[in-house]
Amino acid sequence: MPNGTPESEYHANGIDPDGKYLQPPVPEKLLADVAVGDPIDPGALATLRERYETKDAANFGVIGDRTSLADVGWGVLFAYEDTDRIPDLKRALAPLLERRKAQAGSRYYELDASRAYRAGESKTQFLKRFNLGPGTVDPAKLPYYLLIVGDPRQIPFRFQYLLDVQFAVGRIHFDANSEQEALDKYARYAKSVVEAEEKAEQKTLELPKKAVLFGPQNEGDKATALSVRELIVPLAEELRHEGPAGWTIVDTVEDDASKAALRTLLGGSSAPVFLFTASHGLGLKPDDERLFTHQGALVCSSWAGPGSKVNDGDIFAAGDVDPEGSLLGRIAFHFACFGAGTPKLDDFSTAVGGTAIAPYDFVARLPQAMLSHPGGGALAVVGHVDRAWDWSFHWGTAGAQRAVFRKTIGDLLAGLPVGVALDEFSLRYSEISTLLTEELADVKAGKTRDDALLAGYWTANSDARNYVLLGDPAVRLRTT
């Protein structure tokens, strides 16, 4: 974000094992240059514009009640490349698929075979096969809730981003040493969701209304100081006063935001029903042997700050989740670089012709471990693909902007489906994309270029788009 120098610089979150920032400060003019040369997918622009222009319409999104699967539908989307293994995937997911079929009735969809996602398809091309275009979803053609089952190498993150503007979209994908081990993880997730929902209906799932907001502040680090001061602490206070009644909201910050504390919160003895974290995510080089297991690991309070090496004791990775605990019935949201996944090409490097940051797109291992926990998997994990910028909650000279987080978390605590609650982020992406497109059109038409405005719009647009949901978008918190 601007730092008051003659030419402002922008900073991304995320650090490497040597304690260096993943992205050196980027001059405002360079980001403006990137914005001017960075085209927006024309196939997606119509949806983004309509989403923004109809943001106040009560029925935008889908025909019907978004909280009723029988009204708006639920479906599972496979990759055509997975044709040979889809029968095994369906068997692993059978408890969840059967439950959703019973709930959605005639509006239950299994998008496989000729209806599966085809390699290289854009969102526009995919929807055209179902006689759909931009705008309100018609559940007689496709369901509002869509669960992608597939590797992002086969169903790309970019497709998920754009589909999520119009639909409520989640994804599950599990890496493993063998096919059977992967199928076991899918089965554990399906079993966990069904168990949590059935126990809630039977009133035997005792989860108190407790939410924890976790934010380390590392010495000499402006990024975590900002996220504690302008996001975690005031957001917790706003939720106490403006959020749904009956909830206990706890903020665990600064030195208290330790790895040991996080272990108790992520499946351990103190696991709340909802956990929000804001921290650096660990970023590794493409050839690092730990890339697929530790990329996006959450950096905790013991890291000594910029320039200090990051030790194993400073980060919380997939292997640190307590195997004896449980995440049954819980939802987590990680604000961190690569917290949900990593693209082969990050947005900034792609725009300036840089090199790949990973061999291929992949889902972060920590949320995979949370969703497939043997003691009971989490319902869903929300996180960021690519590098996270503080523009998510701080808009340049306008200062702190927490409303999208407050609304989303408030809706989750109120029991709305996670795919509906996250609609606030889709709306923000649509709005920023529309403003960026209009500004670029004005510049092309002869308007004097405003580097600060263009740099802010481009950074915020990239950041807003890359929040994704891992898990079934129809799940919701159910508490005692």
Tens of pLDDT, residues 301-342: 999 999 999 999 999 999 999 999 999 999 999 999 999 999
Q: Mean of the pLDDT values across residues 360-367? A: 98
Q: Do 148 and 73 share a structural domain?
A: yes
pLDDT at site 424: 83
Distance CA 359, CA 343 (A): 9
Q: Mean of the pLDDT values across residues 123-127? A: 94
Quick check: is 480 in a domain? no
Integer-rounded Cα Rg, in Å, for the chain is: 21
- Tell me which of 171, 199, 227 is where a domain ends: 199
Q: Mean of the pLDDT values across residues 91-118? A: 98
Give pLDDT tens digits for 160-172.
998 998 999 999 9
Q: Do 383 and 242 share a structural domain?
A: yes
- The token duo for 287 is 């050839």
Q: Do 371 and 222 share a structural domain?
A: yes
255 and 264 in contact (C-beta within 8 Å)? no
Q: Do 285 and 259 share a structural domain?
A: yes
Q: Mean of the pLDDT values across residues 81-104? A: 98
- Tell me which of 155, 175, 199 is where a domain ends: 199
pLDDT at site 368: 98
Q: Mean of the pLDDT values across residues 349-353? A: 61
Q: Mean of the pLDDT values across residues 450-470? A: 83
Q: Mean of the pLDDT values across residues 217-222? A: 93
Distance CA 124, CA 43 (A): 6
Q: Do 59 and 19 share a structural domain?
A: no
Distance CA 418, CA 416 (A): 6
Confidence of residue 115 (pLDDT cuts 50, 70, 90): very high
**What is the residue-averaged pLDDT of the chain?**
88
Residue 115 is given by DSSP the state G
Confidence of residue 473 (pLDDT cuts 50, 70, 90): very high
CB atoms within 10 A of CB 196: 24
Q: Mean of the pLDDT values across residues 3-19? A: 68
Quick check: is 384 in a domain? yes
Over 70: is that where the pLDDT of 74 sits? yes
Quick check: is 328 in a domain? yes
Q: Mean of the pLDDT values across residues 265-293? A: 94
Quick check: is 103 in a domain? yes
Confidence of residue 453 (pLDDT cuts 50, 70, 90): confident
For residue 391, which amino acid is it?
Answer: W
Confidence of residue 2 (pLDDT cuts 50, 70, 90): very low
Q: Do 209 and 159 share a structural domain?
A: no
pLDDT at site 480: 82
Distance of CA 211 to the CA centre of its chain: 18
Quick check: is 347 in a domain? yes
Over 50: is that where the pLDDT of 68 sits? yes
Quick check: is 4 in a domain? no
Phi first, then psi, for residue 438 (nearest 5°) are -65, -40
pLDDT at site 56: 47
Distance CA 271, CA 265 (A): 4
Number of folded domains that form the chain? 2
Quick one: CA torsion of 123, 124, 126, 128, rounded to 10 degrees?
160
For residue 60, which amino acid is it?
Answer: F
pLDDT at site 45: 45
For residue 173, the enclosing domain spans: 43-199
Quick check: is 477 in a domain? no
CATH number of the domain within which 72 lies: 3.40.50
Quick check: is 479 in a domain? no
The DSSP result for 301-314, as a single string, is: TTS--TTS---GGG
- Of residues 53 and 379, the one with the higher pLDDT is 379
C-alpha distances (whole Å) from 355 to each of 287, 347, 348 are: 13, 11, 10
Token match 């580097």: residue?
A: 451
pLDDT at site 275: 98
Give pLDDT tens digits for 229-248.
989 999 999 999 999 999 99
- Of residues 125 and 37, the one with the higher pLDDT is 125
**285: which residues sit within 8 A by CB, 6+ positions away?**
16, 291
Q: Do 241 and 122 share a structural domain?
A: no
Q: Do 304 and 159 share a structural domain?
A: no
pLDDT at site 391: 61
User: Coil, strand, or helix at residue 72?
Assistant: helix
Give pLDDT tens digits for 239-277.
999 999 999 999 999 999 999 999 999 988 889 999 999
Phi first, then psi, for residue 469 (nearest 5°) are -105, 125
The DSSP result for 371-433, as a single string, is: HT-TT---SEEEEEBS--BGGGTB-GGG-B--HHHHHHHHHHHTT--HHHHTHHHHHHHHHHH
Q: Do 366 and 231 share a structural domain?
A: yes
Q: Do 338 and 286 share a structural domain?
A: yes
- Tell me which of 148, 167, 199 is where a domain ends: 199
Give pLDDT tens digits for 145-197.
999 999 999 999 999 998 998 999 999 999 999 999 999 999 999 999 999 99
pLDDT at site 5: 39
Q: Do 350 and 419 share a structural domain?
A: yes
Q: Do 334 and 311 share a structural domain?
A: yes
Confidence of residue 223 (pLDDT cuts 50, 70, 90): confident
